[in-house]
Amino acid sequence: MKGIQIFLSAVTAEFGPYRERIRRALSLPGVTVKTQEEFVPTGTETLDKLDLYIRECDAVIHLVGDMTGAMARPASVALIRERYPDLAERVPHLAAALAPGGPALSYTQWEAWLALYHEKVLLIAKPAESAERGPGYQRLQEQSALQQAHLALLAQEERHAEIVFTDAQDLTIALLRGLQPVLARVQPAWRRLLAPAFGMAGNVFWRLGRILVVAALSALLVRSILNAGLPRMADHGSAAATSTPLIVGLLVALGVEAILHVWQLLALRRGRAP
C-alpha cells in the first residue's frame, strides 16, 4: 500500500513555529510530511528538487503570509521552463514569470504553481492579522505586496485561501478537515469500501445499546419504587409488578432517544453538531 506524501510550503522565518505542530498533527501511519529544508543535497537547482518532490506527493499545504522567502534563481526557472514546455499554456497566469527577464517568483510561490501544474491537492492558508508569527518575521511592504499579488493570481486560477488561521491549533484543525479525502487513501481499499456499512451498523448498535441501558436502569428504578409502595403486589409476583417496570423503562428509553435525536438535528442546523 502506497503511503501518503504531503509537502508543507511555508517561509521559515514567518511560519517556522507552525511547522512542527503541523507535522505532529499529520504524523499518522503511512503519512509523510516534508519541507524544503529537508531535501538531501544533490548538487542540483533548488527548484529542480522541489519539482521532483511535488510531482510525487499527494497534497501541498501552502501557507501565504507577508514574507516571500528567497527568490528563485533564473537558472532554476530556465530548467523548469525547458522541462515543461506546456507550463505557460496549462497555467496561463505563470506565463509572465516564465518569460526571460519576467517578474521573479520566490521558491515558496513556485511550490504552489508546481502543485497546480502537477494537479495535486492544494490547500492554501493565510494568517489573520492577529496570528502568531515566527521570531524572524518582518513585515516589509514590498514583500507583502508581492504576496497579495500571488494570492490574486492563484484566485484567478480558482485557487483561494480557504483557510484563515489565528494560531497553530486553529490551522491544524482546519488542515485535518481539509485533508480528510487524502488521508483516507491510507486505508486499504476493502476498508474504504466497507466503511459506510460499518459506520451505519455501528451507529445502529450504539443506539440500541443506549436504549437497552436506559431501559434497564429505568426499570430498576420503577421496580424499586413499586417494591417500596406496593409490597404485597411484589411479594405475590403480580403481573403488574413484573411488566410495569419493563414498559415504563422502555418508554423512558425511547423518550430519551427521541430527545437526543431532536437535539442533534437542532445542533446540525446551527452548524455545531457534536
Cβ within 8 Å of residue 28, ≥6 positions away: 183, 186
Report d(CA 267, CA 244) in Å as an integer. 35
Within-domain flag for 150: yes
Domain shared by 127 and 201, yes or no: no
Same domain, 167 and 232: no
Query: What's 117's domain CATH number?
Result: 3.40.50
* Lowest pLDDT segment from 88-97, 137-146, 218-227: 218-227
Q: pLDDT class for 200, splitting at 50, 70, 90?
A: low
Residue 43 has pLDDT above 70, yes or no: no
CB hemisphere CA count around 81 (13 angstroms):
15
Residue 224 sits in which domain range?
193-269
- Are 46 and 135 members of one domain? yes
Q: Specify the higher pLDDT residue, 117 or 215.
A: 117
Confidence at residue 215, expressed as pLDDT on a 0 to 100 scale: 76
Residue 15 lies inside a defined structural domain of this protein: yes
- Whether the pLDDT of residue 202 is over 70: the answer is no
User: What torsion, rounded to 10 degrees, do the Cα atoms 180, 181, 187, 190 define?
Assistant: 140
The domain boundary residue, chosen from 150, 167, 186: 186
H or E segment and range at residue 8: strand 4-9
In a domain, 112, yes or no: yes
Pair (66, 168) in one structural domain: yes
Q: Is there a single domain that holds both residue 117 and residue 178?
A: yes
- Shared-domain flag, residues 180 and 210: no
Decide if 70 contacts 109 (C-beta within 8 A): no
Q: What does the mean pLDDT of the chain come to?
A: 82
* 46 belongs to a structural domain: yes
Same domain (yes/no): 160, 200: no
Q: Final residue of a domain: which of 133, 156, 186?
A: 186
Whether residue 146 sits in one domain with residue 29: yes
CA–CA separation, 137 vs 98, rounded Å?
29
DSSP assignment string, 189-221 = HHHHHHHHHHHHHHHHHHHHHHHHHHHHHHHHH
Query: What pLDDT sits at residue 264?
Result: 62
Same domain flag for 142 and 219 = no
Nearest to 9 by CA among 32, 31, 40, 35: 35
State whether 232 and 149 are in the same domain. Answer: no
Confirm whether 172 is domain-assigned.
yes
Contact 26, 175 (CB under 8 A): yes
Angle at alpha carbon of residue 169, lines to 53 and 12, rounded to 5°: 45
67 by DSSP, 3-state: which? Answer: coil
pLDDT category of residue 210 using cuts at 50, 70 and 90: confident
Judged on CB neighbours under 10 Å (0-12, 13-18, 19+), 121 is middle
Is 274 a member of any domain?
A: no
Number of domains in the chain: 2
Spatial distance between the Cα atoms of 267 and 189, rounded to a whole number of angstroms: 33
15 lies in the same domain as 78: yes
Cell triple for 159: 485557487
pLDDT band at 271 (very low <50, low <70, confident <90, very high): very low
Is residue 88 assigned to a domain? yes
Residue 92 has pLDDT above 60, yes or no: yes
Q: Which residues pair with 161 in a beta bridge?
A: 124
**Is residue 52 in a domain?**
yes
> Are both 136 and 14 inside the same structural domain?
yes
How far apart are alpha carbons 223 and 249 in whole angstroms? 10
Grid cell locating 169:
491549533
Among residues 155, 186, 217, the one where a domain terminates is 186
